[in-house]
Structure 1
Amino acid sequence: MKKPTILLIEDDALDIISVERSLKKLESEYELYTAFNGIEALKILRDPHIGLIPDVILLDINMPRMNGIEFLKVIREDKDFKELKVFIMTTSSEVNDRSQAEKLGISGYIIKPLNYTENTKRSDSMDAFVQFHLRKILNNESN
């Protein structure tokens, strides 16, 4: 059976490490692909040698070159990717960002902690998200 795949689109190294740590705690096998912005993510998705149709995308909004909203607009217009499950993970609490993302059919919107001195809380919130949402997806459970 094919391992579930996750595409993480995130430009912050600490957030990438946080997601990786949380995923390792799951008792599921998966493949993780990482892109640092929307342009890199599109290259991965469109690379015929990789052939990636991820089970879930974890997407930051505030990134250089192509932000999360721009990336979402592109994939929602592509017949191969328009139905992908996308969870926004962002520090942005802007109402407009959330509204735009929801109009583009996201599966969830998680606000990341801003305070890096609260590493325990940061880690706990990421673990809770991964345990609740990603465990179901990776184990192919219905919502």
Structure 2
Amino acid sequence: MNRKIILLVDDDCDDAEFFKWAMAGTEETFAIEFVDSGDAALQLLSELKSLPDLILLDAGMPKMDGWELLKIIKQEQRFAKVPVIMMATSSRMKGIDEAQFLGAHAYIVKPSDFNELKLIMHELCIGVQNDLTGTLQKMHSNLPKNIFTFS
């Protein structure tokens, strides 16, 4: 069986570890690729034989931030259809509006609670396997202060 690929782009190694722990038990179904910069993400995307099924993209990174990377991904024909979810610690409307304008599927405010992160990642896995848009809308209904959907 082909595993689904989730690409996590985040410069914070601690956050990346939390995401990996939250995905524990899904290794047979999902492969998590992690890179810590926008440049590394573009390099990996160009090298992968098959594109990721989902990109989780941290908004605030040094050098090339998540906004710039999202813009590049959505302008590049090969990557444009890959769903991207922006993630940030802020719930400011400016960032949420920018994510929508640039073509993200959703914007997630990173939870500080590990169990909430685990729930979010579990739901995203279900969405990647079935109906990401429907799953994100359901997640928004359950966590309206953490999940903003655009589809």
Instruction: Indicate whether 1:89 and 2:80 are aligned.
Output: no
Alignment check: 8 A CA contact 2:13 2:36 kept: no
Provide the aligned length of Structure 1 versus Structure 2: 132
Q: For residues 53-91 of structure 1, give each alpha carbon's deviation from its aligned partner in whole angstroms, at most 9, with x where no partner exists.
A: 000001100001111100000011011111111111211
Instruction: Indicate whether 1:6 and 2:13 are aligned.
Output: no
TM score, norm. by length of structure 2: 0.80
Q: Aligned AA for 2:130?
A: E
- 1:40, 1:100 → 2: CA distance? 23
Aligned to 1:69: 67
Report the 3-state secondary structure (helix = DSSP H, G, I; strand = E; otherwise coil) of the residue aligned with 2:86: strand
Instruction: Indicate whether 1:128 and 2:134 are aligned.
Output: no
Return structure 1 stretches of 4+ with deviation > 6 angstroms.
Answer: none
- 1:134, 1:101 → 2: CA distance? 21
Higher RCO, 1 or 2 (CA under 8 Å, sep at least 6)? 1
Aligned to 1:32: 32
Instruction: Indicate whether 1:59 and 2:48 are aligned.
Output: no
Describe the shift of the 1:28–1:136 C-alpha distance in structure 2 as closer, same or farther (beyond 3 A).
farther
Aligned to 1:80: 78
Instruction: Indicate whether 1:41 and 2:32 are aligned.
Output: no
Q: Aligned AA for 1:17?
A: E
CA root-mean-square deviation: 1.7
Q: 5+ unaligned residues in a row in structure 1: which ranges?
A: 114-120
Q: Which moved more, 1:88-97 or 1:8-17?
A: 88-97
Q: Aligned AA for 2:116?
A: S
TM score, norm. by length of structure 1: 0.84
Q: Which moved more, 1:50-59 or 1:4-13?
A: 50-59
Question: What is the percentage of aligned positions where both structures have the same residue?
Answer: 30
State the Cα distance separating 1:103 from its structure 2 match: 1.1
Alignment check: 8 A CA contact 1:26 1:135 kept: no
Aligned to 1:15: 15
Describe the shift of the 1:78–1:64 C-alpha distance in structure 2 as closer, same or farther (beyond 3 A).
same
Aligned to 1:141: 130
Q: For residues 115-137 of structure 1, give each alpha carbon's deviation from its aligned partner in whole angstroms, at most 9, with x where no partner exists.
A: xxxxxx52012112112122221
- 1:18, 1:61 → 2: CA distance? 17
- Equivalent residue in structure 1 for 2:108, among 103, 110, 113: 110
- 2:86, 2:115 → 1: CA distance? 17
